[in-house]
Structure 1
Amino acid sequence: MRQLRPVNLFFQVFPLLLVCIGMNTLSFGNPPEDTTADQPGLVKQEFVYTDASFPSCHASTIVETPKGLVCAFFGGTHEKNPDVEIWVCRNEGDGWTAPVSVADGVESASKRYPCWNPVLFQPKPGTLLLFYKVGPNPSAWWGMLKVSHDNGKTWGPAKRLPDGFVGPVKNKPYLLSDGTLLCPASTEHNGWQLQMEWTPDLGKTWHRTGPLNDGYKIAAIQPSVLKYGDKLQILCRSKQGKLVEAWSDDNGRSWGEVTMTTLPNPNSGTDAVTLKDGRALLVYNPTQKGRSPLHVAVSEDGKHWSTALVLEDQKGEYSYPAVIQTDDGKVHITYTWKRDLVKHVVLDPSQLKLKAID
């Protein structure tokens, strides 16, 4: 058999290398020079995965279990494509596992819908909840629920929520002292309207408020729940260029008027968590246009906020954060990195240096 001469081999192989490199850059990109390192409170930055069978991802969620961390997100060809599924990665202390598909929108051999916005929550050891949405678009999707009893390794059958209920639409539920799971929800079929849903028995029965806003004068979705003393606050994405809020003094059964905050919002998802020390920590895009930069802010009262840390400040999309505080006091944040990857950042909230937001 005739052997290729070295020069011929080079010209045959080199174009293939260029194609592979180009495909890798298209799918995942190369991280730019990190201008956000060495900030007080920043402990760790990493990608949850670097290789996957899907080119695009979005809407991550993270939870702590007795065995470690679990992260979920939706991934597929692109958002809204029928091949979009819910993927899960686990980290039990020795790095993240490769993404595994745990839910899809297949209804029959000829009908398949995309999946959307997973939300993980563990109300008690041994019961890990995975809420997600299935449907052609956000105005017509429906809520789904799966349960894992082994910290996210395997999952039970999918259960559809009752009509009119979507479950936590993007951000984690809030567990009330009586065991009720308060789920921050919203709908998009009659404008953008907020509603709060709750289940006293981990998804067996459901209750909800009516719409909290008209959906047009203030068009808002995707609340996060925060607690200050005996009051609850929701912070929500809006089409009005600012985050909006509402307050409750009866554990979320009723809410005051939805009003604008002073915090900018480019019509992009946020998340927030009440820290063990009583402060609120918010992850958001502090701009009215675009999805960069991505900042962390802290407040003691839900009204006055201080910038605590810059997660991203380069060009591109850095969006849809999820945030929790683990038992060791560390804060864990995941977010969409250019629609290519999910980034995971660990903070020490006691070391954050705050600068008041004017």
Structure 2
Amino acid sequence: MSHKTLITIYCLLVFLGSAHMKESPNTIAESIVIQDRDFKTDALPRSLKLDRELGIVLAPYLEAEIIHRARDAKRGLYEIRGTVTPKGDYLVMFPDGGHYGGAGKRGEGKVNDMLAYRSSNKGKTWEGPTVAFDIDYNQHGFIPFIPKGSERIYAFGTQPIWDMYEPETHGLSENAPIGYRYSDDDGHTWSEVRIIRPKNDPEFRGMSVMRMTETDSGAWLLGSHEADWSYKPIMTRQYLLRSEDQGQTWELLPGQRHGGWYAKGFNRMDEGRPINLGNGNIFFMTRTATGYLWGSWSEDDGKSWTYPKPTPLVHPDAPPMLFTLSDGKTLIAFHHNRSKIQTADLAGNRSQHYDRSEIWFATSGDGGRNWSEPQFVFATALEPFFDNIWRDYNTSYIDAFIDDGVINIFCPHRWERVVFLQLREVDLDKFPTRKAFLD
């Protein structure tokens, strides 16, 4: 994976790889790797099952289906996010088409649309796709947010508006304004975009695609990072955007650019996910290139933070996938549980993409300080098709929400299909641990 620009990450790899596509994207591999062991797909451990239609190996307590395939397999689809609407529908949205970071200048690159699916029966059937935002610039992922006691749905995220975004600027193709839309009719129609201009850094540009949170006091917290690909290796800095007045004004934490958090020795930290713990306590989990997810804690409603440090969750250079179970206290983190090489230079860290092929989970009952033994959920089981390891092995960037004791999971499998999985919270203890793969 090239270190020059985000274009190389999200687009050139896709297009160059697609030039060598094989005939079928759905061929089951003869063997797969789980926790560094090779398993024949026709002789899996008894605790696992192979779903040939979905192309994944999964634990037996999951129900799964494909609800969408990319309109153009070469361009793919990107970060999927879902929510339960105020009226009880399941609403799922994602950009279908090329990534905004490779779109180029105005006139060269309207390449994607934000598509939406809706279910009125808790995921049994889906209606869609429809185009959620009919706008003239490209989209990044949808960050759903419904404030406490509100009927309004917000759609936060990166806003690469042509007049405010300069993808041709060397090294800065990832950085764009951060903003939001809102809907007062259950997500059927949306307002125009509002751009976030932090009081202490009004021209802030970055990337936001991780879920946000609301504190007990009503403060809003949204993660964002900036990147400069002209550095070799890349430089990234992680921030939090905080608002105490429901999005009217914002502050950039821990301070204005370029003073964000980073993992020392790697010069990088990105894609952070804040989550409310209650009573003024907030946990913040973030992506690093160290081979682990990192965490930070606040005890004053998100105003000040401990400097991030490693958690025990093994993870390659990939995003956090962190949620709260229905008891409102237990955290569940989906992670890859595999990371062979740690380096800040993405071009020298190709194994990170192989390491994105498995999804495990761990839980924490003490706000992210200690975690349970990881348990296996699923892994990709398809032969390489795109000749592009970033796509062929991807199960990363999953999203989830819990409704009525069911964990609803959405995976951009191989950046080409939306895989929808459901599992019951009461079955979590039954999922296999690493021991099942060592016997």
What residue in structure 2 maps to residue 258 of structure 1?
308
- Match of residue 220, structure 1, among 250, 253, 269: 269
Counterpart contact for 2:312–2:371, Cα < 8 Å: no
User: TM-score, normalised on structure 2?
Assistant: 0.66
Provide the C-alpha distance between the structure 2 equivalents of 1:202 and 1:46, rounded to a whole number of angstroms. 37
The match for 2:58 is 36
Instruction: Please list, as runs of the form range in 1=range in 2, the aligned pairs for 1:291-330 lying within 5 A after superposition.
Output: 291-301=356-366, 302=368, 303-314=370-381, 316-326=393-403, 328-330=404-406
Contact 2:76 2:98 (8 Å CA) reproduced = yes
Write the distance in 1 (CA, Å) between the matches of 2:306 and 2:249.
25
The Cα offsets for residues 183-238 of structure 1, whole Å up to 9 and x where unpaired, read as 12222249222211122333222122124524663511111223446432211111
Whether 2:412 is the aligned partner of 1:336: answer: yes
Q: Are 1:285 and 2:364 an aligned pair?
A: no
Query: How many angstroms apart in 2 are the aligned matches of 1:28 and 1:104?
Result: 36
Partner in structure 1 of residue 390 of structure 2:
none
Shift of 1:298: 1.5
Q: Which moved more, 1:50-59 or 1:123-132?
A: 50-59
1:208 to 2:259 alignment = no
Following superposition of structure 1 onto structure 2, how do residues 45-124 of structure 1 map, counting pairs within 5 Å? 45-50=64-69, 52=71, 55-65=75-85, 66-77=87-98, 80-81=102-103, 82=109, 83-93=111-121, 95-103=125-133, 106=136, 112=137, 114-123=138-147, 124=149
Equivalent pair of 1:60/1:334 in contact (CA under 8 Å): yes
Per the normalisation by structure 1, the TM-score is: 0.80
SS of structure 1 residue aligned to 2:142:
strand
Distance 1:286 1:84 in 2: 32
CA gap 1:164/1:217 in 2 versus in 1, 3 angstroms: farther
Q: Which runs of 5+ in 2 are unaligned?
A: 1-20, 29-51, 104-108, 161-166, 340-351, 383-392
Q: Which structure would you say has the larger Rg?
A: 1
Letter in 2 for 1:213: W
Out of 318, 330, 337, the position equivalent to 1:268 is 318
Equivalent residues of 1:161, 1:167 under 8 A apart: no
Shift of 1:78: 5.0
Map of 1:197 onto structure 2: 241
Amino acid at match of 2:427: Q
Quick one: distance in 2 between partners of 1:53 and 1:310? 28
Give the number of the structure whose residues are more often strand, by fraction.
1
1:251-299 deviation per Cα after TM superposition (whole angstroms, max 9, x unaligned): 2111101112222222112211122332110112222222111222222
| Identical-pair percentage | 18
* 1:317 alignment partner AA: N
Equivalent residue letter for 2:94: F
CA contact (8 A) 2:334 2:362 kept: yes
Relative contact order, higher structure (CA 8 A, sep 6+) = 2
Gap regions ≥5 residues in structure 1: 1-21, 107-111
Paired amino acid for 2:299: D
Name which of 119, 129, 149 aligns with 2:184: 149
User: Please, which moves more after superposition, 250-259 or 92-101?
Assistant: 92-101
